[in-house]
Structure 1
Amino acid sequence: MNLWQRLTLIICLLSLSAFALPGKAQATTVAAEQASEYLPSLRGQRVALVVNQTSRVGEQHLVDYLLAEGIEVVKVLAPEHGFRGDAGAGETITDAIDPRTGLPILSIYGKTKKPSPAMLADVDTIVFDIQDVGARFYTYISTMHYVMEAAAEQGIAMMVLDRPNPNGAFVDGPVLDSAFQSFVGMHEIPLLHGMTVGELALMIKGEGWIQQAQDLSLTVIPVADYARTEAYSLPVAPSPNLPDDQAIQLYPSLCLFEATAVSIGRGTDFPFQVMGHDEVHLGDFKFSPRSMPKSAPSPKLEGQIVYGKDLRDSDLQGLDLSLLISAHQAFTKAGVTFFTAPDFMDKLSGTDALRKAIEAGQSEAEIRASWQADLARFKARRQPYLLYP
C-alpha cells in the first residue's frame, strides 16, 4: 500500500467514526434534556415540580435549569427519600424551604400523599420527572398516581418527562389483586411491568385508575432513541439503598425478603446485593449490618454476624424466586419463622398466592405457570400505551 492509499484509508476511517453507522443505536436522550419539546408549554405557567435527585438535565438539577430558563417554578412536591434523595426508606418527609433556591418544598410522603387543593392553589402545571426502576413496589409510581388524580380533580395540567426503565426488558411476577392494593402496589400490573413512568401515566389515565381520569390534561415527553430491552445505566442513584446498577438489577428479587427474617444488606455498603441471617446460615459470606443514618438508621439484624450469599458478581436478572424458595426451605428445616411480616409480603407480592405457594412447597416452575394467563392479559392491555419498541 503506497502513501496515497494509506492516507485515503485513514481519511475514510475518520469519516466513518464521525457518523453513526446504519442500524447503529443512537445515544438515548431523556425527556428533560429535550428542552424544545417542553419549555414552550411551560412558559407563562406557574409550575410545581415532583422531582428528586435523579431529575437532571446533564449535570444540572431540573429545578435550577428551569429557573435559569425563566420558567416560573412556584414549589417542589417532595416524594419518598426527599427532594435531594437523602432520606431513608419509609422516613417521613417534612415541609421545608430549599436553601439553594428559596422554593417551598411540600411533602407528599408523610401524612399527605395526595396534594391538597391548598397545595396546588397557585399552580397551572405539574411536572413529574423522577427516575424509576421498573418494580411495582417502588413507590414513585404510586406518588405519580396521587399527583395525577389531584391534577385531574383540580383542573391542573400534568406533564411527565420520561426516563428509561433499567428493568424494562422484563414482564414478570403476579399481577396485583385489588384486594391487596397499598402504597407499594396500587395498579393491576405485574411486579415487573416493563414500562416507563410515561407509559404508566398514559395507562393510569387510559384505564381510569384515578378519579376523574377523563378530565386530566396529560402530556408525556418521551425518551429519544430508546428501546425498552436495551441496557440503561442510571447516572444518579435513585434512592439511598440502590447505589448502583447491580443493586437495581437485584432489587425486584431481593425486595421480597423485606417481609422475612433475612437481611438483604441494609446497613452495609452493598444493600440489595447480599442476603443472610445470623441463625440460619444461607451461605459462607459474612457481613454485619450497622446503623447508617442516611440509608439504614435501624437495619434488620443490626450488629449481628450474618451468614449468606454475596450477589455482587451475580448475573441474576428479572425476578428470580429460587433464592426466596431455598431460603424458606432452610428456615423451615431449622424451625425458624421465615415470613416475619406475612401481610407485608402479600402487599409486596400484590397477592397472598405467592406466599401460600412457597409455604405449600411449590416449585418455581409451578409458581411461574400460575402467572402466565394474567401476564398475557396484561401485555395485551398495556399495548395501546407503549411508546417504545
Structure 2
Amino acid sequence: MTGIDALLANPPAWKSRRIGLVTNHAACTADFRPSREALLAEGFHITRLFSPEHGLETTGEDGKEMPDGTDRLTGLPVTSLYGGKLAPDPHDLADIDVVLFDIPDIGCRFYTYLWTLTHVMEACAARGKHLVIADRPNPLSGVMALAEGPGLDERHCSSFIGRWNIPVRHSCTFGELAGYFQSTYILKNTLQLDVIPCKNWQRTMFFPDWSPSFVPTSPAIPCFASALLYPGLGLLEATNISEGRGTATPFRVAGAPWMDGPRVAALVNDLRPDGVYARPVHFVPVAGKYQGQKCSGVMLHVSDRAVFRPVKLGWLLIRLIHQIHPGDFAWAPYPTFVNPGGARHLDLLTGLKNAESLVADGSIGEIVEYTGPGDWTARIEPYLLY
C-alpha cells in the first residue's frame, strides 16, 4: 500500500484545509486512478496543483520548459515547477495551508522529480507551510548493498539533476530522503514535515514484486526495464551514442550508425557483468540522436535484478565503445531548460568534476573505484523508514 492509498484509507484532520498538491499523471492509487481525482472524490480540499518536469500529464519532452495551465481532469489550476520557477513562490503558497507531495520516482539521482521535492521543501520551510509526503516504494528496491555512486561534488557539480551529495542509485524512498535532507540541508525546526509511509513494503522488493503494471513516469521511462537501466544508460546522454530516445525501447539500447554492435555485445558478455546480457540489434530512432538513421548497437537484458548494477554497466559501455571507436566516439552537450547550453553534462550526471576522462579512460577494473556508494549507508541509516 503506497502512501496515497494509506492516506485515502485514513483521512487526516487537515483534509478540509486548503491543499496544494504536487503531482503528475503517473501518481495513481492501487487501482490506477489518478491521485488527484481520488483525493477530490474523498473530499480533500485541493485548491491548486503543482507539476514537475514533463508536466502534469507526464508527456512533455525531456528538458523542455513546461507552462502553467488548467488540469483537464479536475479543472484545477496547474503551476509548473519546471518553467518560470523551480519552486512555489510566496504568491502560490499564500492561500494554501498544506502542501501534499505525491510523485513516483525511479530511484536515480539525476531524475529530476527528487530535486523538485527539495525546492518544495525549502519553499515550505521559508513560508511556514505544512508539507506532507505520500511515500512510494523505490522501484529499484531499497537494498543498500545495491546503491551505486559516485557521490556528488556539491562545490563543482550541483545542478537540477543533482543538488546534493547522494549516490546515483540511492536505494531510498522520497520519504527517507526528505528526512535526511531536512536534517542535513534544511534547519529542522523551520519545516513541518510529515511522511505517510507505505505499508507492507520490504526493501528487497522491486517494482514487479508489488504491482502488475508499470505506469510510465515520463516519455522515456515507459516500463520497469527502462527505469532499471536508466542510472547507467542515462550517462549516454553526454555522448554521441543514442540511448534509445525516439525508439520503443528507450534506455534499453545503445547504438550509433558507426558502431559495431555485434563486437560491443560480445565484449560486454565476455566480461560477464552481474545480472545482464547484451544482444546486438539495429534500430532507427524517430526522434533524438540519429533521427531517421539506422543504428547498430546493443540491447541490454537484465537477467537477475537482485545483482545487476546499472551504473557500473553504463561506465563499462562508454569505456568499451570509446576504446573500439576512438575516431567516432565523442562527448556531446545536452541542452535542457535548466542547462540551456548543455555544457558539462557528464559532470552533472556523475557528480564528478572533469568526469569525461574518468569515465572513458583507464582499465575496466577501475570502474568499481568510481561507482562505489562511499559512506552513504552510514549517512542514511538513521532516516530509513522500512
2:331 is matched with: 339
CA distance in 1, matches of 2:325, 2:303: 23
Deviation, 1:228, is: 1.7
Q: Aligned AA for 1:118?
A: H
1:192 is matched with: 169
1:1-389 alignment to 2 at 5 Å? 29-35=1-7, 39-57=11-29, 58-168=31-141, 169=143, 170-178=146-154, 179-207=156-184, 209-210=185-186, 212-233=187-208, 235-283=214-262, 284-291=280-287, 299-312=288-301, 315=304, 317-318=308-309, 319=311, 320=313, 321-332=315-326, 335-341=327-333, 343-352=344-353, 354-363=355-364, 365-370=365-370, 372=372, 375-388=373-386
SS in structure 2 of the partner of residue 192 of structure 1: coil
Evaluate the alpha carbon distance shift between residue 376 and residue 337 of structure 1 in structure 2; reply closer, same or farther with a 3 A threshold: closer
CA contact (8 A) 2:3 2:136 kept: yes
Aligned residues: 346
Evaluate the alpha carbon distance shift between residue 370 and residue 88 of structure 1 in structure 2; reply closer, same or farther with a 3 A threshold: closer
Deviation, 1:167, is: 1.6
SS in structure 1 of the partner of residue 217 of structure 2: coil
Q: Aligned AA for 2:383?
A: Y
Evaluate the alpha carbon distance shift between residue 146 and residue 213 of structure 1 in structure 2; reply closer, same or farther with a 3 A threshold: farther
Greater radius of gyration (CA): 1
CA distance in 2, matches of 1:315, 1:173: 20
Percent sequence identity over aligned pairs: 35
Deviation string, structure 1 residues 335-388 (Cα, Å, up to 9, x no partner)? 12422237101100011364322343232x32322554xx34221111110011
Q: Aligned AA for 1:290?
A: V
Compute the TM-score of the two structures, normalised by the length of structure 1: 0.84
SS in structure 2 of the partner of residue 76 of structure 1: strand
SS in structure 1 of the partner of residue 138 of structure 2: coil
CA distance in 1, matches of 2:260, 2:89: 48
Q: Aligned AA for 2:218?
A: S
Deviation, 1:86, is: 1.4
CA distance in 2, matches of 1:370, 1:272: 21
2:265 is matched with: none
Deviation string, structure 1 residues 298-355 (Cα, Å, up to 9, x no partner)? x1111111000122566573322321211121231xx124222371011000113643
2:271 is matched with: none
CA distance in 2, matches of 1:289, 1:96: 31
SS in structure 1 of the partner of residue 319 of structure 2: helix
Deviation string, structure 1 residues 261-318 (Cα, Å, up to 9, x no partner)? 0001111111111110112333342111113xxxxxxx11111110001225665733
CA contact (8 A) 2:214 2:224 kept: no
CA distance in 2, matches of 1:86, 1:132: 16
> Which one is further off, 222-231 or 136-145?
222-231
Measured on the aligned residues, the alpha-carbon RMSD in Å equals: 1.8
SS in structure 1 of the partner of residue 189 of structure 2: helix
CA contact (8 A) 1:282 1:327 kept: no
CA distance in 2, matches of 1:378, 1:173: 9
